[in-house]
Chain A
């Protein structure tokens, strides 16, 4: 190796070109971090799913309601330890742009079924006692500046209030969850309030999803079969799945997002690779005579290969490192942007490692072709400036 000084000075022959290439790499690595985080965020729910929890929904689809009476029949199965129910409310806060998830739930069973939902005990007690109250995730509370004691009006787009007004919920508590499969940007309110209010308008509510927790050591596939068989002659056929499978289907409900995002990421890597190869080829062409000089002095072909690879690695590592810093620095902001669609957006260590590996791979791949040319270049040809 000639020296790191020579590597740096060669890159600074055309500072603007090098800076633009470095900035392109910065943006590319930032995008790769972001895109991969979308995939890891989507998959986090699957990876962290509780293997004793099952989801029961209509075999027709998630938005077809099941009769409430099904819960009692499921409860009677020996393997079932507990059940609870969820109904998607589909409302918004003041304006349709303020959209987030709201569920009508059974407060008596929610906390034991989902211990990852952490609410201070006194707030939990308030929530249990007050049927028009709700609990909100800490992310949601932060987004809208809600605090315990506030009354939150929600317009029921999917389930309008019979009196044609907003549903009002008293904020009894703010929950937090450290589990990726339990989102911090949801509002949960009493099933009882939901049911009674709709019935007052002549509507009989149904259930979107029953969640089951089976007893330890249970043969899960057998329970799934038992639940589905239980309703095979009923008005609504059901589909029973593990929580992981349910999460997976939820992810793929919008199409194969991981594949789509992966393609975009691959395109970004390919585009930046071509840009880096171009930069390095131009750089090598400018250094042709210098390579001849260095070889004539006694530097080996191998060291010329190393010189060009080092330049490429330096360029890519600098751009990549800036991209990683940008991704890390902007994570809270990006997480807020994606709060509604990709809750729990957080760049994992695996993503940082992946992006670092991509950076190194780019550095080597972009440098190999010019480095091979530098290695093969005959000294006399190089001195004549022939590349």
Chain B
């Protein structure tokens, strides 16, 4: 059995809204293996995105401990957490979240600027990542000159450019048409199978979740179930 890439131990997270405390994650325990593709499902407000943000080091739990890639995130300062994110995690968001004033190439190159790579090496890595998502001919286009599907593929290229171990995707197909969504899901499956990336994808869509190897259900901030899944075969290219 593979070792745990993500270990969530008794994690609690709550928010204050309008004077009330809303417990989003309640002493959650969860373990995810290295190199697997997980779909994280559950009703709205079940804590999916909150959990994703905690695992990605974008937010910190009120209680409990989070180990990702062997690192206890609670031990890291804000600056250390930023460095850790740069080296270990790639994010894919529902709204693509590309920097609008930068070209596709410049967006993909951004995380590489935090590495010691030379300018030439950065260029090679960014071009390689764009080639991987099939957008090498769009590298000088700005986000607004791309379709939604293309934007999300650029976001995936940016997420993998610095070769992180974990890719966290928050509803990556939520804003896409069926065809584009399928292309994005195929890309994530490829990244998992060929490059052994550990992927955690938040989704409401059972069809999208069917591409994952395991489906984690959250309900009211607690673990509902983890179901192993026979992922769908990749469609024709």
Contact = CB atoms under 8 A, between A and B. Distances in A.
Interface in A1-59: 2-3, 5-6, 9-10, 12-13
Given A2-B110, A2-B113, A5-B106, A299 B82 contact: yes
A293 B97 contact: yes
B221 to A, nearest CB: 17
A296 B56 contact: yes
B44 interface: no
Nearest to B83: A298
Contacts, number: 65
Nearest to B112: A297
A299 B83 CA distance: 8
Given A379-B58, A380-B53, A383-B93, A293 B78 contact: no
B91 A297 contact: yes
B1 interface: no
A280 B210 CA distance: 46
B233 interface: no
Contacts of B84: 298
Interface residues of A, number: 25
B236 interface: no
Interface in A133-173: none
A300 B98 CA distance: 18
B162 to A, nearest CB: 8
A195 interface: no
B102 interface: yes
A297 B114 contact: yes
Nearest to A302: B79
A298 B111 CA distance: 7
Contacts of B58: 295-296, 379-380, 383
Given A296-B91, A298-B87, A299-B114, A383 B97 contact: yes
A292 B58 CA distance: 9
A301 interface: yes
B97 A6 contact: no
Given A294-B110, A298-B87, A289 B79 contact: no
B56 A293 contact: no
B5 interface: no
A298 B101 contact: no
Category for how many chain B residues contact A = 20 to 34
Contact of B101 (A12, A295, A299): A12
A285 interface: no
Contacts of B83: 298, 300
Contact of A380 (B59, B85, B110, B111): B59
Interface string B91-108: 101000111111000100
Contacts of B91: 296-297
Nearest to B99: A290
B4 interface: no
B77 to A, nearest CB: 10
A328 interface: no
Given A299-B82, A379-B58, A10 B87 contact: no
A295 to B, nearest CB: 7
Nearest first, the 8 closest Cβ-Cβ pairs linking A and B are A298-B86, A9-B101, A379-B58, A298-B85, A300-B82, A297-B111, A293-B97, A298-B114
Given A12-B101, A301-B79, 19 more contacts: A3-B113, A5-B102, A5-B106, A6-B101, A6-B102, A9-B102, A13-B101, A289-B97, A295-B58, A296-B91, A297-B111, A298-B82, A298-B86, A298-B87, A299-B82, A301-B82, A302-B79, A378-B59, A379-B59
16 contacts: A2-B110, A290-B99, A293-B97, A293-B98, A293-B99, A295-B58, A297-B86, A298-B86, A298-B87, A298-B111, A300-B83, A301-B78, A301-B79, A379-B53, A383-B58, A383-B97
